[in-house]
Amino acid sequence: MNFFRRHWYNVGLVVALASIVYLIFAWNGMGILQKVIFMNFIVILLHQFEEYGWPGGEPAILNLVLKSSPTPSYYPLNQNTAMVTNVLVSYVFYLLPLFFPETIWLGLPPILFGLAQFVVHGIVIPKKLGQFYNPGLAAVVLGHIPLALYYLYHIHSTGVVTARDWLFAILYLALFIVVIMSKMTFTWLADKASPYPFDDEELKKFNVEEKLARLIK
């Protein structure tokens, strides 16, 4: 468990690469919505690797840049919280719609969540960090946004989406954000005495502390 807690995003990269290979061979047997959903799942795994693996730096960005924590190695985000939250995001929230591609209200929330990521990675973090690029932005711009726009175009042009789908999707997304992304991550699993701190390698990626120091000067 300790290995996975430390390397879940590296494992995710392997899963993403294996999924790409599978998608290539299964392409002709999949419907359009299923293809988009599967690609979006792959992108979220690459997104997470970009944030935590290479170039990395998300622990410091969240704890230092966004939360101004005096103990950025383990509060409010720690290794355990990051693992639990991101695994739920990728392997439940993003992957579940793959098995029910025609259930539009289930597929819409990850699509909308991907679009919303630009607010954080394209506006909030750049403003606070003093530079436009930050880990996760490439996956948002090159993956989540194009896939979201195509998905939205397709469900509207084919008439498969209903007002009820939109209502259920928005409610589901709101519940997910409040319960998983907010309460669980920053309240229930946050621990000021956490035994699962990020190690120095994870914290020093992307030189976040140095970038903040330059801004103060």
Say if residue 76 is preceded by a cis peptide, omega within 30 of 0: yes
Quick: pLDDT tens for 22-76: 999 999 999 999 999 999 999 999 999 999 999 999 999 999 999 999 999 999 9
Distance in angstroms (rounded) separating the CA atoms of residues 34 and 25: 14
Quick: pLDDT tens for 172-201: 999 999 999 999 999 999 999 999 999 999
**More confident of the two residues 25 and 2:** 25
Q: Is 180 left (phi over 0), alpha (psi -120 to 50) or beta?
A: alpha
Distance in angstroms (rounded) separating the CA atoms of residues 211 and 206: 9
Q: What is the CA radius of gyration of the chain?
A: 18
Output the pTM of the full model: 0.96
Helices (H), 27-103: 32-52, 58-60, 79-88
Structural domain boundaries in the chain: 2-216
